[in-house]
Amino acid sequence: MHSKTWIQHALDCFAPCHCSLCGLPSGRDIELCPACEGELPWLTHSCRQCALPLSDSEARLCGACLSTPPAFDRCVAACAYTPPLTAWVHAAKYQGDLPNLRVLAYLLRRALSEHSAPDPDVVLPMPLHWRRRWRRGFNQAEEMARALREHPRFASLDIRGAVAKRIRATAYQRELGAAERHRNLRGAFRISRDLEGLHIAVVDDVLTTGASAHALASALKDAGAVQVSIWCCARTLAP
């Protein structure tokens, strides 16, 4: 974790954060105590490519990725998208709940800090269409990407949100089935620069069917990227 300033120490003394799960003082600058953190639905052994949990301790890829691999090469996901992650993501995304957003960013930092994969050349927050960003007031993926720099390992990450734009105002993915999600995202992204030979990491809150990640990864590889990783707070489990 990053070193605290004297202002942060003062805030801890006079206005300590309380854990959003148990209600006790968390002892740190996020609303999650270490005890409750240990009880979260962490993904401990999952598919290297899509992050779905694996029952075989020796396996590295799931059957779906072996038969029909997505355009992205690797996915690091902190937790399963089950309670309390579902509530935290919804509050952060649709209610602008900054304490919950800080918790999500912390979980992603922890998952990445425990991961041995090489760091990317460029970090790209999952783009929002400008209308959706205007209505929401922010892009939660951008906030999480910036928060990654609070960990010493990621202090120098090259975050470039302008690399990609969402050029079509697609329907909300949560309202669509898996096949409809893929059709909904055709031609949704435009890449603004040559990415020849680069490793790009895309930051997002949740990987559900992987349709958005697949569409963006395809566009990034068409622009020359040699590897695309997905970094997310949570992974929706298979039905």
Q: How far apart are CA 79 and CA 236, in angstroms?
A: 9
Count of domains observed in the chain = 2
- Which residue range(s) make up the domain with 3? 1-39
Q: Is 158 a residue whose pLDDT tops 50? A: yes
The answer on 114 and 138 residing in a single domain is yes
The answer on 100 and 49 residing in a single domain is yes
Q: Is 1 a residue whose pLDDT tops 50? A: no
CATH number for the domain that contains residue 61: 3.40.50
Q: Please, which pLDDT band fits residue 180 given cuts at 50, 70 and 90?
A: low
The average pLDDT across 2-14 equals: 49
The answer on 52 and 11 residing in a single domain is no
181-225 per-position pLDDT tens digit: 656 677 789 999 999 999 999 999 999 999 999 999 999 999 999
The answer on 172 and 122 residing in a single domain is yes
pLDDT of residue 147: 93
pLDDT of residue 118: 82
Q: Which of 62-66, 138-142, 144-148, 168-172 has the lowest mean pLDDT?
A: 168-172
32-48 per-position pLDDT tens digit: 999 999 999 999 999 99
pLDDT of residue 116: 79
